[in-house]
Amino acid sequence: MNILFAAAECSPFAKVGGLGDVVGSLPKALLELGVDARIILPRYKTIDANLGKVVGKISVEFGGQTIPVTVRQTTLPNSKVVLYLLDEHKIFGHAAVYERTDAAPGSASEVEKFLFFDQCVAEFCRQKIWVADLLHAHDWHTALIPLLMKIHKSPIPCLLTIHNLAMQGVVDSQTIKTAADEALEQDSVKADLSKTKKINLLRQGLIHASAVSTVSPTYALEILTEEYGEGLQADLKKLPRVSGILNGIDQTVWNQTSDPFIAKHYDSFSGDLKLQNKLLLQRQLGLTESLQTPLVGVVSRLTGQKGFDLLEPIASELEILDFQMIILGVGEPKIEEYFAGLQQKYPERFIFQKKFDERLAHQIYAASDIFLMPSRFEPCGLGQMIAMRYGSLPLVRATGGLKDSVVNLRDDGSNADTATGFGFNDYNPQQLLEQLRRALALYRQNPATWQQLVHNAMSADCSWTNSAKQYSDLYRQILESSA
Ligand code: ADP
């Protein structure tokens, strides 16, 4: 089976959040199952212009001009997975992945960039530079591809995976005219325009894809409701099915026994070595050096989705609890300001690093005892899985993929042999506070149970093995039903 992944991100070449991790790792797991999964990606400014070899040339209409694009072929590091880079300077090559650090859709010209990408992908398929059996599109950036493939009368079916329903790419007709003119003639686009004067790219994807999936079983159900449906619940309900397949993590990249970014390698039986990482990071960032003080880590895009506004109402309680916290992230200014303020007030307890830093991210996973993800909604979430692998117990709001991947320690502790972290249900600051207090107390008062949870978390299966199999089954079903 030949599967072409079209996406805006692919780790390690272009990563802003979990989308990059997934696109950079799922194809590797599929290849192990005998599925030839390849990736197509714009060559952004941050990617070496001479990477790989030229395997084709295409041209695409954009803003009334014909734009030539060179297709280069390389592979993902340490793997045989093929990556096609679309090399073009004016639209792709002068900018990073996204305009906004929180990854939300930016200006019209950014949307045009991704529409241009969609056209390039459809043209790549039409010219058979590589013959895919199925196209796997990811998120709004690639959601127009199913419609473009129909316009091209392509027989290739498309699976659209929603990694984050909150980002939809809503544009006006001028943007479509510039970057994907032919789409304006289509009934579904005309219908969108007549109703709202805008075109919702993700909605177009839902209408025209052969099948739709999302990244956890719980989120697949949640998005059918008004609370999580982001206005698209009615469109989603009309589909025969929205599959929910939980993401995995690349266990060669996220491996605490060989991670080149961390000082001390360890496993679940060498907790003292994990503690060395904690001490080193405390020293490096200027926190009080203390093995006994629980260290809470955050590595996250700083957006409303991630739930950090739950911290403000409990600020006075947080200030008197004895723990340290390291926050690594960029995003909305008001969240950045909140964390900067905490650091200013308590520099020996709260450290805020406002940047994207892969190395520091690995160090925080390795050094922290607790990993905080109080998300308002979370399609899957990878931070909690990485944290588990590194023996940092996730404290999460039980929603979406967080609910599917973290086993909450029950109040009576009766599931200590299987629990992997702490969870709360309602989007409520007091519930977060309660769980934090519980976690801190357990850390201090019951090291044996803590170690048991760390062991459970580190042994949890967060690999791609099961999920890659589910994707391969889904591809097969789509191919059978479209034959
Ligand atoms: P989302 O996709 O919503 O951003 P996920 O939890 O699925 O959230 O994935 C986030 C990924 O991005 C993880 O690999 C995390 O380590 C990484 N990440 C997020 N922010 C940063 C940052 N500031 N520096 C380095 N890595 C980051």
Task: Quote the CA–CA distance of 203 and 152 in Å, as a whole number.
Answer: 20
CA distance 389 to 219: 22
Q: Is the dihedral of CA 288, 308, 106, 73 positive or negative?
A: positive
Q: Is the pLDDT of residue 483 over 90?
A: no
pTM (two decimals):
0.95
Q: Express each pLDDT in 102-161 by its tens digit.
A: 778 888 889 999 999 999 999 999 999 999 999 999 999 999 999 999 999 999 999 999
What's the average model confidence in pLDDT over 251-266?
96
Dump pLDDT digits (tens) for 269-327: 888 899 999 999 999 999 999 999 999 999 999 999 999 999 999 999 998 999 999 99
Strand partners, 40: 6, 84
Nearest residue to 437 (alpha-carbon basis) of 348, 349, 338, 323: 323
Question: Over the stretch 68-85, which tens digit does the pLDDT of each residue have?
Answer: 999 999 999 999 999 999
- 3-26 pLDDT tens trace: 999 999 999 999 999 999 999 999
Least confident of 33-37, 141-145, 180-184, 203-207: 180-184
Q: Which residues contact 458 (CB under 8 A, 6 or more apart)?
A: 256, 267, 268, 388, 389, 390, 391
Tell me which of 184-198, 388-402, 467-481 is least confident: 184-198
Residue 20 CA to ligand 1 centre (angstroms): 9
CA-CA distance, 472 to 27, in Å (whole number)? 11
Atom of ligand 1 at shortest distance to CA of 355?
23
Ligand 1 atom closest to the Cα of residue 361 is: 25
> What residues form DSSP beta bridges with 297?
326, 371
Select from 335, 359, 382 the residue to mutate for testing ligand 1; criterion: most ligand atoms less than 8 Å from CB.
382
Q: What is the pLDDT of residue 271?
A: 82
Query: What's the confidence (pLDDT) of residue 87?
Result: 97
Mutate which of 98, 214, 301, 352 to test ligand 1's pocket (most atoms within 8 Å of Cβ)?
301
Extract the tokens encoding 158.
């498309």
Q: What is the pLDDT of residue 456?
A: 98
Query: Could you read off the pLDDT of 209-254 as tens digits, one per residue?
Result: 999 999 999 999 999 999 999 999 999 999 999 999 999 999 999 9
What counts of helices (H) and strands (E) characterise the chain? 17, 17
Distance 299 CA to ligand 1 centre (A): 6
Predicted confidence (pLDDT) at residue 100 exceeds the cutoff of 90: no
Structure tokens at 166: 């909150």
Q: Report the alpha-carbon distance of residue 384 to residue 393 in Å, rounded.
A: 8
Q: Whose CA is nearest to atom 20 of ligand 1?
A: 300
Q: Which residues pair with 16 in a beta bridge?
A: none
Closest residue to atom 12 of ligand 1, CA basis: 17
Cα-to-centroid distance, 452 and ligand 1 (Å): 27
Q: Inform me whether the pLDDT recorded for 95 exceeds 90.
A: no
Over 90: is that where the pLDDT of 47 sits? yes
End-to-end CA distance of the chain: 14
Report CA(482)–ligand 1 centroid distance (Å).
36
Q: How many CB atoms within 10 Å of residue 437?
A: 12
- DSSP per residue over 38-87, as a string? EEEEE--TTS-TT-SEEEEEEEEEETTEEEEEEEEEEE-TTS--EEEEEE
pLDDT at 93: 87
d(CA 194, CA 111): 20
Antiparallel, parallel or unpaired: β 324-328 and 350-353:
parallel
The confidence score (pLDDT) of residue 335 equals 97
Q: Ligand 1 — pocket residues by CB below 6 A? A: 17-19, 21, 299-301, 328-330, 356-358, 361, 380-383
pLDDT score for 168: 97
